[in-house]
Amino acid sequence: MSETEEFSHPTRDGERDVLELEMEQSVRQIESRRTQLGVLIGSGILQLPIWGFAMSYGVFQQYYFDNWALKGDRSVTGVIGTTANGVMYLSMPLLFALFTRRWAHRRQLAALCGTVIACASFFLSSYSTTVGHLLATQGIVSALGCALVYSPTTLSLGEWYSTGNRALAYGIVLSCKNIVGTGCPFLLRALIDHYGFRTTLKAWTAIVGGTSILGIFLIPTHPSKVSIHQTRARKIPWEFLRHRSIYFYSIAIIFQSSGYGIPQTYLSTYARDITMLSQTSGTLMLALFNAPGIIASSFFGWLSDNKRVTLSTQAVSSIPPICCTLATFLFWGLTTQGSLGLLIIFSMTFGFFSGGYSATWGGMLKQMEHESAERNEPVDPGMLYGLLNGVRGIGYASGGFAGMELLNAGTISASSRFGYGTSYGPLILFTGLSSLLGGSKSWSYNTLKARSVLNFKGIPYTQSWVSYPDIKLLGASLGLPPNPQGRAYTLPTIVHKPSVTSTPSGAITDSIAIALHLDKAFPSPPLFPSGDASYALFVAVAKIITLIEPGFRPYVVPRVPAHLDERGKQYFTETRSVALGKPLHQVLPTDKETIDKLWKLVETESAPLVKMLKGREQKKGPFFEGEKAGFADLWVACHLAFIERFDKELFGKILGLGNGELKALYEACLPWVEGQGEEKEWPIPQAA
């Protein structure tokens, strides 16, 4: 489906004065970058209270076995760690959905509530006398509290890094998670040896409370989400469920995570029972399992974001599970009594690749976002990330229960000298096999302008997608007069009989006419907050955009057909080739001289916009009028979104102009630009 409105290109004679951009960093930009850094640091700190217990549970598991003083089945303790991981991940789709929009402004409060829940459950678990109580407090309630800390803060992290290096940011935070997994086993082992598990749990309660509060206050909610609950609520887009990628990756994640939690839980007891190593060696195995993930997470995050390495998302995400399978079968399965070296190799190899698997999710998200864009479908990356975490929870939970049963299943037919021939043999096979198995939006800036105005004002609406050849038929059937210049009929078009009286159908076309009409019919919030001064600002901004446009259209127009339906693709290719006087594919610049010339034009003509957004000293807010958004801001954001749909490299370069002023504007306007109405099929009349 497609939609468009033509824009004329002005011609200019003579020289024109160009405002030069001042290169000094403004206080506002310094604060913005400090905030981003603070968010990254805060997210790293939070890995300790969120994951420290779950990643080090093997230490407690070993203690419970060696010093049994609880009522109930001892084997149930093997489920607690994987249950905690499972509960955390399973709750994330719901929590991500709640805090993406509806409760976005209460993210910090929710994270603090999660801290209270986690602290209370860990403290109560120190008084446990039964296995059931231990499972409830450590495996379920504490996990819910940690998930309530994780979900809102992770959403904010993704939004602060939404326009660049998101996969790398995730990778750095996951590296911090693995630092926690490396150090925590030694810390908890030392505390347990000196004070027992009950006092250790009380100390852990204090650690969770202190680090959580510090990390939470370093992660403010992104400005684009602070007031989003006041705008018109929109339904969560589920169109991505029609794509095969979500199911392919979900199945892979379920299998990978079902095997990932088993070494975390049983490595310590395996080192003691089978290879006859000391308690310290068992703790060392757990630390060595988590340590390589420090490097792996950043590496796979970089690999997913890197433009120079030509590996597909499927290829990058297949590397970890394949290598985990080889490590399990070749190293863990062949360990013998006293074989410390081979077990160390397994711990580090499996830990490196399994620890880096989550960092490939950034690439998965980008692929699924691209698939939605190709189909002109809306998609919510935060919700996608929450769902991936949810299916990982299914894997953790199923792997935990399977591990308990497999440990009691007896041995398999193999030499008892090796790990395969011990009671852990079925676990080893399950871990290896499960690891192996783990391996659209509106695009036209003119239609985006109309939609962004509707979203900005919180006006409920339905939307219909119209193919290029049907635009003329639709316009004529609605009684719209043909345009005096350019193409006779264009989009966007809105229909609202209660307020539009110029046509019997209640239809009006042209993005500017639509905006002015909606601002008059629905005056709050105003598109022109300072009245005529804001309107004059918009006229100036629109003029500047027309000067920038010749620099980016050659990159965009040739790529439009790939995003259209077959009829629209043929129509667009034929009509634009005639209009441009050459085949459409020849419009895309390829030689360095033309590329440099076009970029120089974009850079030069964008300088006044950057300077206007920067404003005078003490200016606050990302918009042209500081903290008051208006139509001029939406106009620029929609053109940036238009470029982002077709050329992400050029989009990134433009956002990098100045000191990030355009980036800040775009991020602040994203909820209005990306908002979607309810889908509705509009009947298209047949040609006579």
Please indicate whether the domains covering 24-225 and 235-439 agree at the CATH topology level. Answer: yes
Tokens of 129: 């006398």
Contact indicator for 419, 274 with CB cutoff of 8 Å? yes
SS3 363: helix
**pLDDT of 586 over the 60 cut:** yes
For residue 124, what pLDDT is reported? Answer: 93
Which tens digits make up the pLDDT trace of 664-674?
898 888 878 87
In terms of Cα–Cα distance, which of 253, 221, 250 is closest to 151? 221
Q: Where are the beta strands (DSSP E) in 485-634?
A: 493-495, 507-509
Mean of the pLDDT values across residues 109-123?
93
Architecture of domain 24-225: Up-down Bundle (1.20)
Task: Say how many CA atoms lie within 13 Å of 591 toward its Cβ.
Answer: 5
For residue 223, what pLDDT is reported? Answer: 73
Cα angle for residues 472, 478, 482 (degrees, 5° grid): 50
Tokens of 617: 């000293």
Q: What is the DSSP letter of 484?
A: S
Residue for token digits 């603090």? 112
Contact indicator for 135, 76 with CB cutoff of 8 Å? yes
For residue 11, what pLDDT is reported? Answer: 37
- pTM score of the predicted model: 0.50
* The domain defined by 445-679 carries CATH number 1.20.1050.10: yes
- Cα-to-chain-centroid distance, residue 285: 32
**462-463/678-679 β-pairing:** parallel
Q: How far is CA 326 from CA 6, 102, 266, 527, in A?
A: 57, 45, 19, 60
**pLDDT of 234 over the 60 cut:** no
Which tens digits make up the pLDDT trace of 466-514?
777 888 887 788 787 877 766 767 778 888 888 888 888 888 888 888 8
Contact indicator for 70, 128 with CB cutoff of 8 Å? yes
For residue 336, what pLDDT is reported? Answer: 64
**pLDDT of 420 over the 60 cut:** no
Cα angle for residues 676, 550, 643 (degrees, 5° grid): 30
Domain boundaries, the chain: 24-225, 235-439, 445-679
Task: Say how many CA atoms lie within 13 Å of 494 toward its Cβ.
Answer: 29
**pLDDT of 1 over the 60 cut:** no
A 10 A CB-CB count for 285 gives 26
Which tens digits make up the pLDDT trace of 274-330?
555 555 665 666 667 777 777 777 777 677 666 565 566 667 777 887 887 787 777
For residue 645, what pLDDT is reported? Answer: 80
218-257 burial string, b = 16+ CB within 10 Å, else e?
A: bbbbbbbbeebeebeebeebebbeebebbeebbebbbbbb
**pLDDT of 180 over the 80 cut:** yes
* pLDDT band per the 50, 70, 90 thresholds, residue 267: low
For residue 599, what pLDDT is reported? Answer: 92
SS3 458: coil
For residue 366, what pLDDT is reported? Answer: 72
Contact indicator for 111, 212 with CB cutoff of 8 Å? yes
Q: Which CATH superfamily is domain 235-439 in?
A: MFS general substrate transporter like domains (1.20.1250.20)
For residue 210, what pLDDT is reported? Answer: 93
Which tens digits make up the pLDDT trace of 541-564?
999 999 999 998 888 888 888 777
- Whether the upstream peptide bond of residue 426 has omega within 30° of 0, thus cis, is no
Mean of the pLDDT values across residues 208-223?
89
Residue 585 phi/psi, 5-degree rounding, is: -65, -20
